[in-house]
């Protein structure tokens, strides 16, 4: 479980969503340290940019702008002529991407990391993506279905000016696969169970199977035959 620390202030840039709801999560690289990011996003001298969240290399999560508001992270309406993201192309250049996106900055410098995250950072941003999806669903009744169409990089909005944001090594696939596995559970009765993650991993590796009704029955006693079957699958792997 991660903690989100809200650090935005009255200087942090934000605006209305203009009756739009969040439909995509846009990932960025900060091109600097997390301390410099916090300083910039809370500075009275900054009149041009912000983001909803920032994730440090240590896995710390900071929030600058409420999800209900637009952060200034993804260009203006006249700055998206180079977009490749499907949702942006469908909405057109007259609809500001900030109105329908949630943005996450990741501490790092592209020339040094090419967008690769630390282990702690990856764990934190996976959790944060899930948090955003659940928050948006509870607030707006809209589920952001995890895919390469909804979990994107800044370069997909402005390929010309931001070609390396967040970077070619950014782990989009790992994040999306994690979210898909979380929301597409193999068994309908394990969500929230203390062993949920262990059960999913065992299922992925082919160690366990459920019942015909789609349940796993995690608290049901295990028979000797089931133990033998489990061990057999483990040995074969």
pLDDT digits (tens, 9 = 90+) for 127-185: 999 999 999 999 999 989 899 999 999 999 988 888 999 999 999 999 998 888 777 76
pLDDT at 4: 98
> Which of 49-53, 60-64, 73-77, 167-171 is predicted least confidently?
73-77
pLDDT at 188: 65
- CATH architecture of the domain with range 4-183: 3-Layer(aba) Sandwich (3.40)
pLDDT tens for each residue of 89-135: 999 888 999 999 999 999 999 999 999 999 999 999 999 999 999 99
User: Across residues 74-98, what is the average pLDDT?
Assistant: 82
Query: Percentage of residues in the chain with pLDDT exceeding 70?
Result: 91
For residue 149, give every residue at least 6 positions away whose Cβ sits within 8 Å of its Cβ, in sequence order, or none.
24, 85, 86, 87
Contact 180, 151 (CB under 8 A): no
pLDDT band at residue 233 under the 50/70/90 scheme? low
* Mean pLDDT rounded to a whole number for the chain: 89
Q: Is the pLDDT of residue 186 over 80?
A: no
User: Across residues 207-219, what is the average pLDDT?
Assistant: 75
The whole model's pTM is what?
Answer: 0.78
pLDDT band at residue 78 under the 50/70/90 scheme? low
Domain extent listing, the chain: 4-183, 186-235
pLDDT at 46: 97
pLDDT at 76: 65
d(CA 233, CA 186): 18
φ, ψ for residue 175, nearest 5 deg? -65, -45
What six digits make up the tokens of 144? 């952001």
User: Across residues 192-212, what is the average pLDDT?
Assistant: 77
pLDDT at 220: 86
User: Across residues 11-33, what is the average pLDDT?
Assistant: 97
pLDDT at 92: 87
For residue 218, give every residue at least 6 positions away whose Cβ sits within 8 Å of its Cβ, in sequence order, or none.
189, 190, 193, 195, 199
pLDDT at 224: 73
pLDDT at 101: 97
Half-sphere exposure in the Cβ direction for 174 (13 Å, CA): 13
User: Across residues 3-17, what is the average pLDDT?
Assistant: 97
d(CA 104, CA 92): 23
pLDDT at 168: 97
Residue 195 neighbours by CB distance under 10 Å:
13
d(CA 47, CA 136): 27
């Amino acid at each position: 479980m991660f903690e989100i620390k809200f650090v935005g202030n009255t200087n942090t840039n934000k605006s209305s969503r203009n009756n739009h709801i969040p439909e995509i999560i846009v990932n960025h690289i900060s091109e600097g340290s997390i301390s410099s990011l916090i300083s910039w996003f809370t500075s009275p001298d900054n009149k041009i940019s912000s983001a909803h969240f920032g994730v440090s290399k240590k896995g710390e999560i900071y929030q600058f702008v409420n999800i209900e508001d637009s952060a200034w992270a993804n260009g203006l309406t006249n700055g998206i002529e180079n977009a490749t993201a499907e949702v942006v192309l469908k909405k057109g250049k007259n609809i500001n991407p900030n109105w329908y996106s949630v943005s996450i900055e990741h501490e790092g410098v592209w020339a040094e990391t090419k967008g690769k995250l630390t282990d702690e950072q990856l764990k934190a941003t996976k959790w944060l993506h899930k948090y955003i999806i659940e928050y948006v669903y509870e607030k707006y009744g809209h589920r952001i279905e995890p895919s390469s169409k909804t979990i994107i990089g800044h370069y997909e909005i402005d390929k010309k000016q931001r070609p390396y944001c967040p970077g070619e090594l950014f782990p989009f696939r790992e994040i999306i696969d994690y979210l898909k596995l979380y929301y597409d559970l193999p068994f309908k009765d394990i969500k929230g169970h203390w062993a949920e993650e262990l059960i999913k991993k065992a299922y992925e590796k082919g160690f366990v199977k459920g019942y015909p009704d789609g349940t796993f029955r995690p608290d049901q006693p295990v028979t000797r035959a089931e133990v033998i079957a489990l061990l057999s699958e483990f040995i074969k792997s």
